[in-house]
Copies of this chain bind each other. A is one copy, B any other.
Amino acid sequence: MVVKMKVDLKQAVDFFKTNDNFTLICHANPDGDTLGSGYGLCGVLHIMGKRARVICDDEVSPRFDFLPEAIDKSKVELIEGQNETAVTVDVADIELIGSLKDKYPEIDFCIDHHISNKYYAAKTLIDTNAAACAEVVWALIKGLGVEVTPAISSAIYTGVSTDTGCFTYSNTTVDSHLIAAELMVSGFNVAKINYLMFEMKTRERIKLETSALDGIEYFFDDRCAVITLTADMLNGIDPEDASNISVLPKQIQGVEVGVVIKEKIKEKLPKIIGEKTWKISIRTSENVNAQTICASLGGGGHIRAAGCSLKGSVDAVKHAVLNQIEKSLN
């Protein structure tokens, strides 16, 4: 059995210098941090003359189409017969790589920033103070002493900017800004990346957002706002277009608890006569604990953002959720 160990930057540098044939594995439902970390590191390994590729169990949004510019496509084919080095990026738990776990049950190296990391890899380079995995990857790249291209910088930047909500979230640190400054020195189109990550919306997303906000309901002296997304509203909508709706009700001035109640579409498909399932997402302001509310409904999460699943009619589910929220507001 392989001993699992946490490694420091020097040991990590040695690992990447001495190995080859890297498969960099992103987590399923890939976001800007896992993909930016993967493509940024892959590009650096190519500059070092290594063979490396980035893989992910799920389809990647076309938003991220620019990321492969960071790599050298002539070096993505691994050398046959040579050992493959499996590396995960931004993956706290091996379960999060989805079905790739079947092919890669043993991970050689993990680069991460999640405090919840399960230390499943033989070696783990982790900085739980980092706002993004890409910040840890950037420290590694500097340790490797590789001069990066603008495309590699933009991949690392994508990781940092997406995981910090473009430097707006409370996880943003002094280092996040210092790293952004270092990356920008190489000269890439920051405005273009931020447009793709934060501004660009599809027409379907606009429609969904409009109908969601049209039906918003307020409770408890407007301290709580609830958006309900039924299967009918979500019909034909790309899951990516439906993501992140959970932030909307909490943005409204005076709202302390923002709730999104979203019908689970998959469970509707078999058309079994029975209860519907709803995914509840709750966001709270400083004086309300989202975790407590969701824990009392069988869910969990963080203090300001938590979730749970409930079965039943939309009215029954809403009633149950509002009951718990009322307790937290009092």
Which residues of chain A have a CB within 8 Å of any CB of chain B? Answer: 161, 165-170, 172-175, 177-178, 180-181, 184-185, 189-191, 194-195, 198-203, 206, 209-210, 213-214, 216, 222, 247, 251-253
How distant is A247 from chain B, measured CB to nearest CB, in Å? 8
A209 CB contact (under 8 Å) in B184, B213, B222: B213
Q: In the complex, which residue of chain B has the Cβ closest to the Cβ of A200?
A: B253
CA distance A249 to B214 in the complex (A): 18
State whether B252 touches A201 (Cβ < 8 A): yes
Residues of B contacting A180 in the complex (Cβ-Cβ under 8 angstroms): 167, 177
Cross-chain contact A168 with B169 (CB below 8 angstroms):
no
A167-B194, A168-B194, A177-B181 are known contacts; what are 11 more A-B pairs with Cβ within 8 Å?
Answer: A165-B194, A170-B189, A170-B190, A172-B184, A172-B191, A175-B181, A177-B180, A177-B184, A200-B251, A200-B253, A206-B252
Given contacts A166-B167, A216-B206, contact A251 B178 (CB under 8 A): no
Residue of B with least CB distance to A225: B203
Tell me whether A253 and B213 are in contact (CB under 8 A).
no
Chain A interface secondary structure, helix, strand, loop or mixed? helix
Is A251 a contact partner of B177 (Cβ separation < 8 A)? no
CB <8 Å contact, B202 and A252: yes
**B184 near A252: Cβ-Cβ < 8 Å:** no
Please indicate the chain B residues that have their CB under 8 angstroms from the CB of A253 in the complex: 200-203
Ordered by A's residue number, 16 sampled pairs between the chains whose C-beta atoms are within 8 Å are A166-B166, A167-B190, A168-B195, A168-B198, A169-B194, A172-B184, A174-B181, A174-B184, A178-B178, A181-B181, A199-B247, A200-B251, A200-B252, A203-B253, A206-B213, A206-B216
Q: Is the CB of B172 within 8 A of A251?
A: no
Centre residue among A175, A178, A185, A190 by max chain B CB count within 10 A: A190
Chain B residues lying within 8 Å of A206, measured Cβ to Cβ, are 213, 216, 252
* Nearest CB of B to A195, in Å: 8
- Chain B residue at smallest Cβ distance from A172: B190
Q: Are B185 and A174 in contact (CB under 8 A)?
A: yes
Residues of B within 8 A of A169 (CB): 191, 194
Q: How far apart sit A198 and B167, CA to CA, in the bound complex (Å)? A: 12
